[in-house]
Structure 1
Amino acid sequence: MANEALVVGDVPATTRTAVTGVVKALEQAFNDKDAVALGEQFARHASWTNARGTRLDGRAAITGFSAPAMEGFLRDSFARYEVVKLLAIAPEVIAVNVVQTPTDRDGNAVDGARGATLYVIARQVDGWKIVAGQNNAVDAPSVG
């Protein structure tokens, strides 16, 4: 994760640490192919649209979709997530822009579609969680 994300509005350092921690935990869960740990980063009633355009409502649906996907078409997919912007929406509600870079199992960047993801992360009773988000696949930048 980058050390310097653009911060817009009042986002205290403790909040920055908390929301980037959610993104880092999500990245780790994705790379470990741990659907339960991935689902735990989402609020119980979250709304998530994945890179294929499938909307999933609720932590159970997100986890339920992720488990077979990680064992199937995502089994050899790995990524690095970089927080590039934090935007204060309301007290304890932060919009987080993330750039996803495809990597190999060891974390080295590889060719492939990248992700441009927006998470809305808010403090919940059980901690900071993603309450809404969308992942967009984008082509790799051209060289030259």
Structure 2
Amino acid sequence: MTEAPPQLTQPLDADDVTALRRIVQDVEDGFNTNEPALLSVHIAEDAVIGTAGGAWVTGRAAIDEANRAGLAGFLRDATAHYEVSGAVAVAPDVAVAQKRAWSTRAAAEAGEPPEMLALYVFVRRDGRWWIVRRQNTLVP
């Protein structure tokens, strides 16, 4: 006999969705303006990030360094436009969000398929949300 799997996600309230969208907007703005500090401002100390280049980076200091190196190097002239396509709670004070990404807003508005997908895991501590995990996946 098999049991139906449980439904484990819950909708987030509008204020939380807005907060998560602002965080993703800060990541986009940091990327587009080559500001590594803004790119990392919402990263938790013990975060783990899967980069678009395929590397796992662990810990805030290493993530900060990877962001600085990327923005000074191969990502220096790159731009991006992000859209959060879903955000739900998976536990009290834990949320996940999906992000679709394009090189430009114009590409997104033209209906082109996303060039990258990402999954963010957020944890709320002391009244604010932190990124604790992020996985970027380039779309071939």
CA deviation map 1:21-45 (0-9, x unaligned):
1111111111111111111121111
CA contact (8 A) 2:50 2:56 kept: yes
What one-letter code is carried by the residue in structure 2 that aligns with 1:98? K
Gaps of 5+ in 2: 1-8
Tell me the percent identity.
33
DSSP-derived class of the 2:107 partner: coil
DSSP-derived class of the 1:75 partner: coil
- The match for 1:71 is 72
CA contact (8 A) 1:116 1:136 kept: yes
What one-letter code is carried by the residue in structure 1 that aligns with 2:125? Q
Q: Which moved more, 1:73-82 or 1:107-116?
A: 107-116
Q: Distance in 1 between matches of 2:41 and 2:92?
A: 22
Give the C-alpha shift of residue 77 in structure 1: 0.7
Alignment match of 1:108 (pick from 106, 109, 113): 106
Aligned length: 129
CA deviation map 1:99-127 (0-9, x unaligned):
01112xxx433999711000001112372
Gaps of 5+ in 1: 1-7, 140-144
TM-score, normalised to structure 2's length? 0.84
What one-letter code is carried by the residue in structure 2 that aligns with 1:109? A
- The match for 1:122 is 123
DSSP-derived class of the 2:77 partner: coil
What one-letter code is carried by the residue in structure 2 that aligns with 1:13? A
TM-score, normalised to structure 1's length? 0.82
Who wins on radius of gyration, i.e. which is larger?
Answer: 2
Q: Which runs of 4+ in 1 moved over 2 A?
A: 107-113, 124-127
CA contact (8 A) 2:100 2:114 kept: no
Q: Distance in 1 between matches of 2:42 and 2:35?
A: 12
Give the C-alpha shift of residue 51 in structure 1: 1.4
